[in-house]
């Protein structure tokens, strides 16, 4: 640009406020988290350097490993629930059937409302005595199928997974739909001339065409599953007896309920590492295949 001296100052003025807030609130605290994770500290007294004690304690804690296990359950049920279902819906919606717009609108609705509202609605579905699910089972004469959906350790994490899938399918549906609509018409016409129709075409022509989107949705679904918090916090708070705790809940209750800031910070660093590692691996795999 014309006046270089003046533009240097302008660049600084333009970038500074955004950078200040962003670095100060979103980036620097990661470093502080790591620093706290090396401290034995309850927030009030003096910080005491503890080395990796918090990490050792975490790796020896059954509750921590239970939360990791629950995260993995949510990750897997998310992958096998959200993606195939979202893809199926997108394939059907891409056929230009009457009413497709309506189904898309309804399908995406849960994505728009807050997770808190999703949890509260599902809390009413799962309620043992008054809930929709148990009352429905009674209504159709399947009383023996009734369960304490959220308080029975056998069911609680699965119940949460179902609500989680319900909340997110619509997002994957529209992501797949956008990819399907980007496939050029000539591809479909050419494949038709070659006699590829129906399932065969879907499998050999359509899916390879949207492989990039498939990869993106897989990575997103995995990294998203490590960030679940609202849904579980509102539905069960991680209970009964830590049975539905995931890492984010474990971090929250250690830090803000038990006031163990040092230990909580160690857990939060693990959350960061987990998501970074998962995203890196997934990106690697995606690049190799592509």
Partner 1 sequence: MKQRSPLFKIFAYVFLGLFAIMNLVPIFWMIINSFKTEQEYAADPFSFPTGIELSNYVKAWDIANMDTYFINSFLITFISLIVTVFLGALAAFFLSRFEFKLRGFTYALFLLGMLVPIHATLIPIFLIMQKLSLIDTYFSLILPYTAFHLSLTVFILEGFMRGFPKDMEESGIMDGAGIFRIFWSIILPLTRPAMATVVILNFIYNWNEYLFALVLITSNSLKTLPLGLSNFVGLETANYTLQMAALTIAFIPIVVFYLLLQKQLVTGMTAGAVKG
Q: Quick check: bond before 191 cis, omega within 30?
A: no
Query: Which residue among 156, 160, 264, 282 contacts partner 1 (CB under 8 A)?
Result: 264
Cβ-count burial 213-235 (b if 16+ within 10 Å, e if not): bbbebbbbbbbbbbebbbbbbbb
Asked if 277 interacts with partner 1 (CB under 8 A), we say no
Please report how close the Cβ of residue 192 comes to partner 1 at its closest, in angstroms.
Answer: 9
Of 144, 152, 202, 214, whose CA–CA distance to 178 is shortest? 214
Q: Looking at the chain, how many residues does it have?
A: 290
Of 165, 161, 160, whose CA–CA distance to 107 is shortest? 165
Asked if 283 interacts with partner 1 (CB under 8 A), we say no
Tokens of 106: 């309804």
- The residues in 27-66 that bind partner 1, with binding defined as CB under 8 A, are 27-30, 32-33, 36, 43
Please report how close the Cβ of residue 152 comes to partner 1 at its closest, in angstroms.
Answer: 18
Asked if 69 interacts with partner 1 (CB under 8 A), we say no
Do residues 41 and 261 make contact, with C-beta atoms less than 8 angstroms apart? Answer: yes
In the bound state with partner 1, the residue whose beta carbon lies nearer, of 9 and 285, is 9
- The residues in 150-189 that bind partner 1, with binding defined as CB under 8 A, are 166, 169-171, 174-175, 178
Site string for partner 1, 73-112 (x = CB under 8 A): ------------x--xx--xx-xxx-x--xxxxxxxxxxx
- The residues in 109-138 that bind partner 1, with binding defined as CB under 8 A, are 109-117, 119-125, 127, 130, 132, 135-136
Please report how close the Cβ of residue 241 comes to partner 1 at its closest, in angstroms.
Answer: 19
In Å, how far from its chain's centre is CA 224?
2
Query: Which residue among 7, 42, 181, 202 contacts partner 1 (CB under 8 A)?
Result: 7
Site string for partner 1, 222-251 (x = CB under 8 A): ----xx-xx--xx------------xx--x
Of 124, 210, 136, 227, whose CA–CA distance to 173 is shortest? 210
Exposure of 233 in the CB half-sphere (CA atoms within 13 A):
16
Other C-beta atoms lying within 10 Å of the C-beta of residue 161:
22
In the bound state with partner 1, the residue whose beta carbon lies nearer, of 113 and 285, is 113
């Amino acid at each position: 640009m014309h006046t270089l001296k003046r533009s240097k100052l302008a660049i600084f003025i333009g970038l500074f406020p955004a950078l200040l807030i962003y670095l100060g609130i979103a980036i620097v605290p990661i470093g502080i988290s790591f620093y706290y994770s090396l401290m034995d500290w309850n927030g009030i007294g003096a910080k005491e350097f503890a080395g990796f004690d918090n990490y050792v304690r975490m790796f020896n804690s059954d509750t921590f490993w239970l939360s990791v296990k629950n995260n993995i359950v949510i990750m897997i049920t998310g992958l096998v629930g959200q993606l195939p279902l979202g893809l199926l819906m997108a394939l059907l919606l891409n056929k230009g059937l009457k009413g497709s717009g309506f189904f898309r609108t309804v399908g995406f609705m849960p994505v728009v409302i807050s997770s808190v509202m999703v949890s509260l609605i599902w809390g009413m579905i799962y309620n043992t005595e008054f809930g929709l699910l148990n009352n429905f089972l009674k209504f159709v004469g399947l009383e023996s199928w009734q369960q304490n959906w959220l308080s029975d350790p056998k069911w609680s994490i699965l119940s949460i997974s179902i609500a989680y899938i319900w909340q997110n399918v619509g997002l994957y549906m529209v992501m797949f739909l956008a990819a399907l609509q980007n496939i050029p018409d000539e591809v479909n016409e050419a494949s038709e001339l070659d006699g590829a129709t129906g399932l065969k075409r879907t499998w050999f022509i359509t899916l390879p065409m949207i492989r990039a989107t498939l990869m993106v949705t897989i990575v997103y679904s995995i990294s998203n599953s490590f960030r679940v918090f609202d849904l579980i916090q509102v539905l069960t708070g991680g209970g009964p007896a830590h049975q539905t705790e995931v890492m984010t809940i474990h971090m929250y209750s250690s830090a803000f309920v038990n006031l163990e800031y040092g230990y909580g910070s160690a857990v939060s660093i693990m959350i960061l590492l987990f998501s970074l590692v998962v995203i890196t691996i997934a990106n690697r795999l995606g690049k190799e295949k592509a």
